[in-house]
Amino acid sequence: MIYALLNQKGGVGKTTLSINIAAELTRLKRKVLLIDADPQGSALAWSNCRDEPSFTVVGMAKPTLHKEIDLLSGDYDDVIIDGPPRIAELAKSIILASDIVVIPLLPSPLDVWAAAETVDLIREAQVYRDDLKCCLVVNRKIANTAIGRDVRKALKELEVPVLKSDVGQRVAFPESMATGSTVLSGWNSKGAKEINKLVSELRRIK
Ligand SMILES: Nc1ncnc2c1ncn2[C@@H]1O[C@H](COP(=O)(O)OP(=O)(O)O)[C@@H](O)[C@H]1O
Ligand SMILES: [Mg+2]
């Protein structure tokens, strides 16, 4: 399956979730390729700090990605594409290369409005690709806040399924990243459980 983490907005957790999802799929014995399609190369930078690489990370931030995806993905069970902010041409290519586009966003009205731009790009692609799936995931949710609860209502206007598995605001995400690791290294931690749940929900999308 080819999953893209995409949002035209920066700082919503595309890279953080890409890496953690790739690590979880690897833990589940899938052979995983992570494509860093952001010219900033954050996922590549993370992969350079790893001690024991458990899945492959390559950089490919070019708008011909959809034409090369079959060649790239042949040897893998799953491919995760970490998308760039802004660059629409690249985003369109990533969408065409994917089976499921996952749009992470923060629980804020600004993020709901910004996500609409990415949703529009996906709708354009769905005209030609009616099998293309798309979902939203709330990231950096702060527990027991009104905005955390209300964001789900606001998200309805985007008319895109919202995953049940929210990801909380947890220091374990940046901390694990800094050492070339993931939240899964804190086995049984809250962050690890959220990623387990998120990936199992993603794998149930048909
Ligand atoms: N669930 C989370 N809890 C805490 N910090 C997070 C979480 N998700 C992302 N971050 C932090 O937010 C910042 C932006 O995340 P990043 O994955 O780089 O976003 P993007 O790739 O969309 O630009 C980073 O500093 C990252 O460590
Ligand atoms: Mg990023």
133 touches ligand 1 (CB under 6 Å): no
Residue in 38, 80, 37, 39 with CA at minimum distance from that of residue 56: 80
- Atom of ligand 1 at shortest range from CA of 170: 3
Q: How far apart are CA 143 and CA 60, in angstroms?
A: 36
pLDDT (tens digit per residue) in 122-150: 999 999 999 999 999 999 998 878 877 78
Mean pLDDT of 78-105: 96
Number of C-beta neighbours around residue 148 at 10 A: 17
pLDDT (tens digit per residue) in 108-127: 888 998 999 999 999 999 99
Mean pLDDT of 37-64: 96
Q: Is the pLDDT of residue 187 over 80?
A: no
Q: Which residues contact 115 (CB under 8 A, 6 or more apart)?
A: 7, 9, 103, 105, 136, 158
14 touches ligand 1 (CB under 6 Å): yes
138 touches ligand 1 (CB under 6 Å): no
47 touches ligand 1 (CB under 6 Å): no
What is the CATH code for 2-194? 3.40.50.300
Choose one of 16, 139, 179 to mutate for the ligand 1 pocket test, by most ligand atoms within 8 angstroms of C-beta: 16
Task: Give CA separation, 96 vs 21, 65, 66, 119, 147, in Å.
Answer: 20, 9, 6, 14, 33
Give the CA dihedral 190, 191, 196, 199, nearest 10 degrees: 140
